[in-house]
Amino acid sequence: MPPLRWVLLSSRLPREPSRLRLGVWRRLRRLGAVLLHDAVWVLPAAAETREGFEWLAEEIAEQGGTAFVWEATSLDEPQNRELVRRFRAEADGRYAALAQSARDLARAARRARPRAAQRERPTALRQLRGLERALRLERRRDYFRAAGRVSASAAVTDALSALDVPRPGARPAGDDHALDHPAASAH
């Protein structure tokens, strides 16, 4: 196996405004970055991860901070394995939260009385669409195919079934047109 390459972001942020720190942290989490040490974040090296860190470094500099983007190769294979393990563990945690939300949504849909289910369906569908978007985002930042991906996808599919949302390619009774569904996007 060729050595893994990593892209790193090291930054120093001004104390105020604190919203900058929060914004940077959120962006790092959205990218799927893992905290290596103190203010050093790491992602697998790829054009899109470098670009994500470069944009963030530019934003940090514009706000009065300093940031450096590095590309590196670990000299120790066990370190690579540990980093991959950490990426997978963090992704598994996010997948587990998504799966739990989908299971809760499916359970509520199955328990609801017919009249209440109809009344609550639009809200449940909005929540389900949010889960589908979150699952797509997670797939994009799941750089090492964490095991939780399968159960999260299955839980969202189950929630779709519980809410009687047709799957892609399925034809509702009496309808000649297949409905497209955002959950069909795969990574």
Residue 186 has pLDDT above 70, yes or no: no
Rounded Cα–Cα distance for residues 117 and 109 (Å): 7
The pLDDT-based confidence of 113 (bands split at 50, 70, 90) is confident
Residue 139 has pLDDT above 60, yes or no: yes
Residues 6+ apart with CB under 8 A from 9: 28, 33, 40, 41, 42, 53, 56, 57, 67, 68, 69, 70
Mean pLDDT across 158-163: 87
**pTM greater than 0.75 (yes/no):** yes
Residue 49 has pLDDT above 70, yes or no: yes
Inter-residue contact 11 to 59 (CB < 8 Å): no
Rounded Cα–Cα distance for residues 114 and 155 (Å): 22
The pLDDT-based confidence of 167 (bands split at 50, 70, 90) is low
Edge-first strand listing for the sheet containing 34-37:
34-37, 40-44, 5-12, 66-73
Q: What is the DSSP letter of 42?
A: E
Helix axes 77-111, 114-141, angle to 10 degrees: 170
Element containing residue 37 per DSSP (H, E): strand 34-37
